[in-house]
Amino acid sequence: MENPLRFCEKGPVLPRFLTDVKTGAATTGFLRCHELLTGKRTCRSPRHLNLPPMKARNVLATLFLLVLVLTIFLKRRWQEPAAREVFDRHPGRLTLTKHARCRMDCRQISEPEIREIMDKGIINLAKSDLRDKPCPTYAVQGTTGEGESIRVIFAQCADETRVITCYNLHTDFECHCPGDERKKHR
C-alpha cells in the first residue's frame, strides 16, 4: 500500500518538515496533503508551535540576566587574580635603587607610601614584565592614604625585592634622575 501522504489529488504538494505524531521523530513529508487527508496539523516547526507571545516582563528579565552574566564575566576577567598571585607583597628585604630614591625625592613619595602601595595596590599587568631578566618586574599602582595615585615598579628576585622607579599618576614632575632616558614603564 502506498503512503497516502505521497500522493494528493487536491493540488500541488510541497515538501515540508513533519514530526511523527506517535514517535516524535522528524520526518519529511508533504504537509499540505497530510492536512487535506486528515484535517490535522502535525507540523512542529517553530512558527507553528502556537506559543503565546513573550511578555515584556519576561523579555526584561531575560535581558537583565544576560547583562548580569556579562558583567560578572567582564569583572572576573579584568580583576587581579588574588589566589594565584605570584607577586610577594611581604618580601624579606626591600631595596631602593638610586634611581628610585631620586624619583621619590623629586615626587615627594615616602618609603611608607611605597610599602602601602606594595601591600594594597593593584598589579597592572599591562605595565608589568613577568619575563624580565634577571628578575620579573611588577607595576603596582594605587592611592596612598594622603590621596596620591602612584605606580611603583618592583623587580622581585628570589632573595630581595627592589624598587626600580615610581610615578605620580596625576602630576607630572620635572625630575632629572639617572636613567630617565629609558622610560620603559611609563
Instruction: List pLDDT tens digits, range 74-103.
Output: 887 776 555 456 788 888 899 999 999 999
Residue 167 identity:
Y
Q: Predicted confidence band at 183 (pLDDT cuts at 50, 70, 90)?
A: low
94-168 fold: YaeB-like fold (3.30.2310)
Mean pLDDT (the chain) is 75
| Higher pLDDT, residue 183 or 5 | 183
Q: Where in the chain is the domain with CATH 3.30.2310?
A: 94-168
Q: What share of the chain is helix, strand, coil (3-state, %, to 5)?
A: 30, 20, 50
Q: What is the DSSP letter of 92?
A: S
Reading phi first (left if > 0) and then psi (alpha if -120 to 50, else beta), residue 167 is in beta
What pLDDT does 162 receive? 94
Name the range with the highest mean pLDDT among 3-12, 13-22, 36-45, 95-104: 95-104
pLDDT at 42 over 50: yes
Report the candidate in 84, 152, 85 with the shortest Cα–Cα distance to residue 118.
152
Strands 26-30 and 149-156: unpaired
Q: What is the DSSP letter of 47?
A: G
What pLDDT does 147 receive? 87
pLDDT at 182 over 70: no
For residues 142 and 80, the answer to whether their CB atoms sit within 8 Å is: no
With cell 587581579, the residue in question is 80
CA-to-CA separations, 93 to 90, 147, 159, 160, 164, in angstroms, rounded? 9, 26, 7, 5, 14
pTM: 0.52
Report the candidate in 138, 140, 139 with the shortest Cα–Cα distance to residue 157.
138
pLDDT at 27 over 80: no
Least confidently predicted of 9-23, 37-51, 55-69: 9-23
